[in-house]
Structure formats: structure tokens, C-alpha cells
Chain A
């Protein structure tokens, strides 16, 4: 069995991780939470600045004359339209139009791209690169990455970067120097807030960490683990591989697979681009015929929760962190779908969930009920289908 590895930030993160709450992420140990409760970390994301070690993201460099062509073939976006310095969010499918993984593509120069992924995709990229003039490099280990998220993140960066980050627009990237080392900064993240991701050579990891923590001191910066991040990403309506969908590459049965349309990624499927891309035929068909499922947001009705809990003499109970479990969703006595992640939103003061509903129940405003367990008994709390994201601050893209 392979030993889980430590990220290049381990010397710092391990010293700060008080509860020894470690989580496995893509072959690495990462911090679940730095404190015994995750409230402060959550609020750092929403009100101040949060520093998150996201090194385990798979990182691939795709280089060469046909690099754009390869990504155009693999992903659903129109990569030919991308300008240098731009970042796209995208999914990629098998030829049946079912999602394999999702991540970001960054155009570093005319013929060089970086693709991030949740799971290893090197073989898939190689299989798709047959006959193309490209070189592939897995930089997952050699490049460290930090996510700096929250409304104060720009102010923190301005303090520690050599070049000003004011001009850096949403989903763009720049080269910069931070604490004396070369970094790439992209205005991206997984919180739905103002935020950046910083990419550096693994050997410079600690310098960048220290530089950011020092610069962020006056802005309330906190190291943040992935449990708080999980709550924030649900508020932002962002799904997660293996939690909210199963990759087509390791689903056991057809019904476990999801298409990009079913996950609400319609806007990423560029059916207007030229030529074949993987999954095109199936995606064209689904676009024409409509999707059987759709991922939506649901808000659980607080008054309804109160009534259910009142039956046993308790006030409503909400989870302290996001729950990654499948919870049936009903209309009448018929199950019409399931929630895959539910979370209490401290900011919105609402119990929310990402839910997968069958046609026609995924229409906005549909009244549904979600299963909750109250004192060992299954109950159904009233809920409503709402628009995603649940939370989007006006400074996210500003």
C-alpha cells in the first residue's frame, strides 16, 4: 500500500493543526481543520482571508504546437478562443458524454496550458494525444499551490507581491514575484468569493506561505482546512467529484454517471466549436432531447424543520459541517432524486443542499421534501428548489 504523502507546506501546516484533523486528498494528507471547531475558518473565508493548501490538485502541463487542439478535443470548452493569460473552468467527458472530471485550463502562453484535475488524468490525455504534436508533463508534485480566498485576499496580495494585482480580472492569471520568488497567480478559487490561487515551484512553498501569513496578519488571515472550504463551496453551488458526481471512468453502472448538462454545466459545453470532441455526439443528442436529471440547489424550510423536531420536543438540529451523504428527496410518496451534499450556511442562516432531481421536478420553485433523521426516525423536511449559487458576493468578480 502506498504511503500518503505530505505536501510541501507540511512543516507549517502540521505545526498549526491543533486537533490532528487530517484528511486524505488525492494521495496527500491535508488539514481538515486547524482548530477544534471550524467556525473561525469558515468566517475567515467569508469575512477576511483564508489560506488553503490545495497542492493535491492534479496539475498537467500541455505544451506544443497542437496543445490547444488536444484540449479542444478533450474538454467541452472552445479552447481555440482562449487568450493567453485566460483561465477556463471546464469538464471533460467520455465519448458517451458522461463527465470524467472537471478542473481549470490556464493558457500560460500560445502553446502552453495548465490543466488541473481532481483525479489522475495523464493516461486519458495521452490516449487523446495520439497523432498530435504535444508534450505532457505531470506537475502535481513539482508545483505547489495555495488558495487565498476571502474579501481581504486582494489587499493581502497587494502587500506582498512585486507587481500590482489590481488589474487581474476574474479567471485571468499573471506572473508575479511574491516574497522574492516567482509565482503564477490566477484569480480563481473554490469558495465563490473574491480569491486567488498561487502556483509556485515546490521548493519555494514555505517562503510563499510565510510571506502570505505575515502580509495577511493585519487582514485577519487564517490557515483554513478543507472542512470549512467544503461549506463555502456548497454556498457557492460548486460540486465535487466523488461526492456530488461519480467519474464516468470509475462508475460501476450507467446510472452513476452524469453528463455536464445534468450538473448544470450547459454553459461550458461549446457545441458551436468546429469538429469532433470527445462526447460530442452524445452531448448533441442530450441537448436536443433534454436531460433526465439536473443538479439544483434546495433550501430546507426552517419552519418545517421546527415542526418535525417539535414532535420529539427538540429545537432543530443542523450539522456543524457539510454532510457528504445521499439523502432521498421526495414529492408526495415518490422519490424524485437525492441530495449529495448538505450544509448549514452560517452566513445565509439557511440549511441548504446540492440535489439531483429528475425531470420535471428540477424546475425552480418546485416544492420537495428532503429526508432527515430525527432521533433515529426518518422524517421528511419541506424544501424548495432554488437557483444556484446560494451565495455570490458582488465583489467576487469585481
Chain B
């Protein structure tokens, strides 16, 4: 029988990063993916003729060190050289254009506040330091607190502390203070214009079920900024799917195996070790180690089974807040130039547009998530690619008070189009095809429990050494040879690959 060194459950970016590193070390690895395509959340899919979209994430990139280690350029990954301008659309058409070129951004900010314009470059410098700190934090294996803290973990943690200290006392304090702050408070320390503040604060709630007045959105703002490397994404040429395609090619080039259409039904557990997996078709596959890139809730409660796990751990896993509230609306239009004309404010396509006109607007959009409904006036982040307009829609609560996601997708689509039409008057008449992905689709099609892109919200009680659960923050589990590497572990949340990279260090 074919025994693998490691089976990796899920061919998302983290699973593939882990697989590529292990295969590169000469390990015999097998990646099992339930869908017919690899990529997980990082996929480019076609929904019809000419209607090819980045399904869930319109952009993103792996950490540069991972791209280099795995030589992903040789597997066809070309990272965009320019960062798209980040344009906050305003009802009065006086749009804020935060160009990647700081001088251009300053010019645009001046129209809102001279003082804010003067603060823009110091803010970018500070956010560079934030990015360095978060990258350092994300490559640190978190110690198991309160139990199991040992010397080697202490060394890693000390390195992270040194990184933080190297930033200088004042900036270190600013970063630490920023973590529990609200996104509103965070930007309020730098800027006075509501338009400028809201545009930046929107990043603090992007992908999260949190409002800009929520504690800890200071951290999520820094987290998203660090993963993106700025306000808007850089991406891979040809779509985000190229990232995972390159990873898959890397895995195969190192003689790793990837099987798609192979859904794991259970992890076979014998008291404190796992022997392998059984697929939904009944096939059993053995391995010395198993790494699950699926979310911790699905991994522990469905794949391992609560009966095989300590009750405190089960309780902690049940308590992980998933709470997805993102929907995606993709629109195929017949003439993209006509649609965006007048809205780009002289900035050439492609761009990232946000509907985040004020701090209060963002908080009110979030109210829908609190009350289990769909925002009437949503926070949107909009990107274009060819003739496709992709809308990231917040908030659309996974658990709806009224109605269900079998029918409410149409409402999300309608609200998204109506909202955008206020800024793009030619949009409606130009739409030729639509594809809406609801939180329920994210669960059923993409395997994200409760439609949570993060595999568990990033909140103050679910981050760093409390991610995915307190006491098990180092990729390990009570099953000796079962490891986690998805977004639900520290390093995860957003596209970076840190979690998949870190698990390999733990396995050694």
C-alpha cells in the first residue's frame, strides 16, 4: 500500500504552500482537494463566455519570501509591478484618489484637507513599519499559552519582540496601542477629513464581520494593510488563480501529488494518532502525518470528530466565531470604459474603488451583520478586469433573520447594482451577465464554514496565540501527527501563505 509522508487536506494557497515546501524537502506528499480545481479561495473561474473572474479575492499576493523560496516565477507567476490606485467614490463626484504614487495621493488629499495631505507620507512610513512588524509576527510560531510555553518558543517570541523594539520606542508603542483600538480611532490620530478617514478605515473591516467602531479593528486594519502591502492589492497577472496554479505546478515539479475531486470525509483516528483519511467515496489513504488546511471547526468537529477530542478543546472549537458576512457580485458588462467613465477621476484603469464615503456610513453598513440581515447601503470594494466588474459586498450575514440564502442572493445583487449605479450611471444598461456568490455558496462550494473567508474571524480573542484556540496556537493538535495550516491558524487571514509556511517549520 502507498503510504505518504504527509497528506494535506485542501488545495488552497496555504495547503499548497505547505505541500510545496515539504515536497521540495523530498517528502512524499499528497494534496486532497474536494473541488475539481485547485486554489481554494484563491481561484480564477469562468462563469460563462468571456466571464472569467477572481471568484472571492480580487487580488492579493503571497509573501515575497515564499515566492522566492519556491521560485514561483519559474512556474508562471508574474506579480503585477504596479499597485492600483485606491479610489474612494463620493456622491458629489469629488472622488478621493489614493494613488500608489504618494505625490499624486497628496494632491488628491489636499482637496479634502491640507493637514491630512501633510500627514500622508508620515502615515505611509509608519504603515511600512507596521507591515514589517506584522510580517515578523506572522512568521513567528505562536507559543501555547498558558500551557506548554517552552524555551524554543520563547526564542521565536523574543525575535518578534526585538523586531518590534527595533522600530524605536515611539512607533513600537503606537503599534501596540493600535491593536485594540477601533479603526476609527486609529485613523483619527492621523487624519481629520471624514472622507480620508473612511477610505483608510474601510480596510480595517474588509473581509471581517466587524464595524469601524469595533475594538480590534485597529489591528485588522494593520493586518490587511500588511498582507496587501498597501491600501489596494497587487495581484498576479492573469488573476489570483495564477498564484495557486503556480503553487500546484511547484508541488508537482517536486514530485508531490495533487488529487482534485477527492473530498476527505473523515480523518482516521486511533486514540492519539491519525492513520490516514477516508474519502467520501470510501477510499482509505494512509500517511505518517496529516495537515489540514480546512478550517479548524470543520477539521475538528467533522473530520476528526468531537468524540476523539478533549471536551475543553471541543468547547473552544465550538466557540470559534466564524460569522461570514461577505458576498461577491460579479458583473459582466459590454463596455467597461463607458461604465467607469466619469467615475475614475482621470485615473486610468484598472483601479480599486471603494464605497466608503464616511465613517458613519461604514458603521451603519455593519449594523446589518449585527442584526442578521443584508446592508441596504453596503460597504463595497470594486475592482475591474477586462469587461468584468467584481464587487466585494459587506455586509451580508451568513445567518439571516428573515429569508434564506437560496433566494436572498438576488437581493444582494440588486443592492450592489443599485448602489454602484449611483456612481456609475451607465452600469445598469451595460450588464450582460451576473454571478453572485453568497455566504452560503462560500460554505457549500468553497468549504468555508459559515462563509467565513478567514476560517474564524480575526478578533482580539481569536488572534496571535489565541488562534485558532487558546492552548493550540502552534499548528499542533491533541492528535499527535495532525497539524493545521489554514487561514484559521495564526499567520492566516488574507492571502500571504504564512500559515502554510509555518506548519512546515513545526513539522521538522
Residues of A participating in the B interface, judged by any CB pair closer than 8 Å: 69, 73, 94-95, 124, 127-128, 130-132, 274-276, 278, 280-281
B272:A281 contact, CB within 8 angstroms: yes
Measured in the bound complex, the distance between the Cα atoms of B310 and A274 in whole Å is: 15
Measured in the bound complex, the distance between the Cα atoms of B310 and A94 in whole Å is: 9
Measured in the bound complex, the distance between the Cα atoms of B305 and A73 in whole Å is: 13
Q: How far is the CB of B475 from chain A (nearest CB, A)?
A: 19
Contacts of B309 in A (CB 8 A): 276
Contact of B271 among A95, A130, A132, A275 (CB under 8 A): A275
B312:A130 contact, CB within 8 angstroms: no
Contacts of B306 in A (CB 8 A): 130-132
B293-342 contacts to A (CB < 8 Å) = 301, 305-315, 318
B305:A95 contact, CB within 8 angstroms: no
A127:B311 contact, CB within 8 angstroms: yes
Measured in the bound complex, the distance between the Cα atoms of B308 and A274 in whole Å is: 11
Complex: chain A residue closest to B312, CB-CB: A95
Max chain B C-beta neighbours (<10 A), residue from A94, A132, A275, A276: A276
Measured in the bound complex, the distance between the Cα atoms of B308 and A124 in whole Å is: 16
Complex: chain A residue closest to B301, CB-CB: A131
A131:B310 contact, CB within 8 angstroms: no
Max chain A C-beta neighbours (<10 A), residue from B307, B309, B312, B318: B307
Measured in the bound complex, the distance between the Cα atoms of B314 and A281 in whole Å is: 17
Complex: chain A residue closest to B318, CB-CB: A130
Complex: chain A residue closest to B310, CB-CB: A95
Given A127-B311, A128-B314, A132-B306: 11 more A-B contacts, CB < 8 Å:
A94-B312, A95-B310, A95-B311, A127-B314, A130-B307, A130-B318, A131-B305, A275-B271, A276-B269, A276-B271, A278-B311
Contacts of B312 in A (CB 8 A): 94-95, 127
B311:A276 contact, CB within 8 angstroms: no
B310:A69 contact, CB within 8 angstroms: no
Contact of A130 among B269, B270, B301 (CB under 8 A): B301
Contacts of A275 in B (CB 8 A): 270-271, 308
A276:B315 contact, CB within 8 angstroms: no
Q: How far is the CB of A165 from chain B (nearest CB, A)?
A: 38
B314:A278 contact, CB within 8 angstroms: no
A73:B307 contact, CB within 8 angstroms: yes
Which secondary structure dominates chain B's binding surface? helix
Measured in the bound complex, the distance between the Cα atoms of B308 and A132 in whole Å is: 11
Q: How far is the CB of A252 from chain B (nearest CB, A)?
A: 15
Measured in the bound complex, the distance between the Cα atoms of B314 and A132 in whole Å is: 13
Contact of A278 among B269, B272, B310 (CB under 8 A): B310
A130:B310 contact, CB within 8 angstroms: no
Measured in the bound complex, the distance between the Cα atoms of B85 and A69 in whole Å is: 59
Measured in the bound complex, the distance between the Cα atoms of B309 and A128 in whole Å is: 9
Residues of B participating in the A interface, judged by any CB pair closer than 8 Å: 269-272, 301, 305-315, 318
Measured in the bound complex, the distance between the Cα atoms of B1 and A202 in whole Å is: 61
Contacts of A131 in B (CB 8 A): 301, 305-307
Contacts of B315 in A (CB 8 A): 127
A276:B314 contact, CB within 8 angstroms: no
B318:A276 contact, CB within 8 angstroms: no
Which secondary structure dominates chain A's binding surface? loop
Complex: chain A residue closest to B479, CB-CB: A276
Contacts of B310 in A (CB 8 A): 95, 278
Measured in the bound complex, the distance between the Cα atoms of B272 and A131 in whole Å is: 18
Complex: chain A residue closest to B302, CB-CB: A131
Complex: chain B residue closest to A128, CB-CB: B311
Contacts of A69 in B (CB 8 A): 307
Q: How far is the CB of B275 from chain A (nearest CB, A)?
A: 13
Measured in the bound complex, the distance between the Cα atoms of B301 and A210 in whole Å is: 51
Known contacts A69-B307, A130-B318; A276/B272 CB under 8 A: yes
A130:B308 contact, CB within 8 angstroms: no
**CB-based closest 6 A-B pairs:** A131-B306, A130-B306, A95-B310, A127-B311, A128-B311, A130-B314
Contacts of A127 in B (CB 8 A): 311-312, 314-315
Contacts of A278 in B (CB 8 A): 310-311
Measured in the bound complex, the distance between the Cα atoms of B311 and A280 in whole Å is: 12
Complex: chain A residue closest to B317, CB-CB: A130
A124:B311 contact, CB within 8 angstroms: yes
* Interchain Cβ contacts under 8 Å between A and B, 13 examples: A69-B307, A73-B307, A95-B311, A95-B312, A127-B314, A130-B306, A130-B307, A130-B311, A274-B271, A275-B270, A275-B308, A276-B307, A278-B311
Q: How far is the CB of A124 from chain B (nearest CB, A)?
A: 7
Complex: chain B residue closest to A124, CB-CB: B311
B308:A276 contact, CB within 8 angstroms: yes
Contacts of B318 in A (CB 8 A): 130
Measured in the bound complex, the distance between the Cα atoms of B272 and A132 in whole Å is: 19
B307:A132 contact, CB within 8 angstroms: yes
Complex: chain B residue closest to A69, CB-CB: B307
Q: How far is the CB of B432 from chain A (nearest CB, A)?
A: 47
Complex: chain A residue closest to B309, CB-CB: A276
Q: How far is the CB of A319 from chain B (nearest CB, A)?
A: 41
Measured in the bound complex, the distance between the Cα atoms of B271 and A280 in whole Å is: 9
Contacts of A73 in B (CB 8 A): 307
Complex: chain B residue closest to A131, CB-CB: B306
Complex: chain A residue closest to B480, CB-CB: A281
Q: How far is the CB of B303 from chain A (nearest CB, A)?
A: 12
Contacts of B270 in A (CB 8 A): 275
Q: How far is the CB of B269 from chain A (nearest CB, A)?
A: 8
Max chain B C-beta neighbours (<10 A), residue from A69, A73, A124: A73
Q: How far is the CB of A110 from chain B (nearest CB, A)?
A: 19
Q: How far is the CB of B471 from chain A (nearest CB, A)?
A: 11
Max chain B C-beta neighbours (<10 A), residue from A124, A127, A278: A127
Measured in the bound complex, the distance between the Cα atoms of B272 and A274 in whole Å is: 11
Contacts of A132 in B (CB 8 A): 306-307
Q: How far is the CB of A60 from chain B (nearest CB, A)?
A: 16
Max chain A C-beta neighbours (<10 A), residue from B269, B270, B306: B306
Max chain A C-beta neighbours (<10 A), residue from B305, B310, B314: B310
Measured in the bound complex, the distance between the Cα atoms of B308 and A281 in whole Å is: 12
Contacts of B271 in A (CB 8 A): 274-276, 280
Complex: chain B residue closest to A274, CB-CB: B271
Measured in the bound complex, the distance between the Cα atoms of B271 and A344 in whole Å is: 46
Measured in the bound complex, the distance between the Cα atoms of B269 and A124 in whole Å is: 23
Complex: chain A residue closest to B313, CB-CB: A95
Q: How far is the CB of A261 from chain B (nearest CB, A)?
A: 19
Measured in the bound complex, the distance between the Cα atoms of B312 and A281 in whole Å is: 15
Measured in the bound complex, the distance between the Cα atoms of B311 and A95 in whole Å is: 8
Q: How far is the CB of B159 from chain A (nearest CB, A)?
A: 31
Measured in the bound complex, the distance between the Cα atoms of B272 and A280 in whole Å is: 10
Measured in the bound complex, the distance between the Cα atoms of B93 and A116 in whole Å is: 72
Measured in the bound complex, the distance between the Cα atoms of B311 and A130 in whole Å is: 9
Measured in the bound complex, the distance between the Cα atoms of B318 and A377 in whole Å is: 56
Complex: chain B residue closest to A70, CB-CB: B307
Contacts of B269 in A (CB 8 A): 276
Measured in the bound complex, the distance between the Cα atoms of B395 and A57 in whole Å is: 51
Contacts of B301 in A (CB 8 A): 130-131
Contacts of B314 in A (CB 8 A): 127-128, 130
Max chain B C-beta neighbours (<10 A), residue from A124, A132, A275: A275
Measured in the bound complex, the distance between the Cα atoms of B272 and A75 in whole Å is: 18
Contacts of A276 in B (CB 8 A): 269, 271-272, 307-309
Q: How far is the CB of A22 from chain B (nearest CB, A)?
A: 36
Measured in the bound complex, the distance between the Cα atoms of B306 and A103 in whole Å is: 24
Complex: chain A residue closest to B314, CB-CB: A130
Q: How far is the CB of B153 from chain A (nearest CB, A)?
A: 20
Contacts of A124 in B (CB 8 A): 311
Q: How far is the CB of B477 from chain A (nearest CB, A)?
A: 12
Measured in the bound complex, the distance between the Cα atoms of B309 and A281 in whole Å is: 11
Complex: chain B residue closest to A277, CB-CB: B271
Complex: chain A residue closest to B315, CB-CB: A127
